[in-house]
Structure 1
Amino acid sequence: MAADVVHVVVGSPYMVSAVGFTLALAGVLALWYASERTLSIHSIRSTRREVFYWATVLTTFALGTAGGDLTAGPLHLGYLPSGFFFAALIALPVLCRRFLGLNAVAAFWAAYILTRPLGASFADWMGVPTARDGLGWGTGTVSLALLVPIAALVGYLQMSRADTPAPTPTV
């Protein structure tokens, strides 16, 4: 919502807010790295690292909304093509990790950041009216349609522990 407030209330163009949130994200990551010498989510074991993590997450949400709205609107891709654009982009960190040796932490954060405009683009496409090239479901229906499978998956993982790594054997 931060990106929407900056655009709607303040009147900032999407390009300005996208650049601003990109710089804010770079600043958060730079401070995190300067302070902790790592950006690995596997090392979040202190309050300070958790604060950096959540600052990064919140900034990526704002950046994702601004980026998705920028490509859909002013860059004239539309919501659905923007979703496909970000779906293609999200493959880049994977390919760079596999074929160019991109650091695992950098690959994770690049992919994570791209999930935001990817999700925003598809959610906007489902929610906006058909007159704006959307499906016209409305934000409430889209939220509910996404809440149900997310809640089911979280419940499944909580009960099955399928996402819990096996204990490391001690020597």
Structure 2
Amino acid sequence: MKVLKQSEINDLIQLHQSGQFVHAEENAKKLLSDFPQELILHNILGVSQEAQKKFREAAESYRNALKIQPQFAEMQFNLGSALYQLGDSQGAIQHYQKAIQIKPDLVVAYFNLGITYQDESQFDKALSAYQKAIELEPGFYEAYGNKGAIYLLQGDFDAAILSFQKSLNIQD
């Protein structure tokens, strides 16, 4: 019986981190033929595909992983991100919410949920998602900035200024 070696995983991660996304994708596919149940291989495959803007393929890679382990919050998040890139806001929202349900402290899921709601002009939901991200990570200046943008669109200039100032103060 073959065993996936940590060195093989490390090599894949190194390829991805060094920007060699095509090679990372190819090698992940090869390893998946021998180790189809290895979640990390599906994840590296998906993120390498996303880096090449192959969002449909990435979504499929994440779905394959979720067939093995549906309660994997980060994989739900990654699928949401791929769907967002494909213009499927409702699918993205669904998977961000699943990620949050599984792992309620996954800050980036709240942030991306906020972005998606903001794109859909669901500003109250977006503000709520950004606020939750800030509660979990008080130094999340991007969330303050996005809240400011929503307040600006709503004509609440005082709240917009306050949010932008908080964002800038954190960045200093």
**Fold conserved (TM > 0.5)?**
no
TM-score by length of 1: 0.28
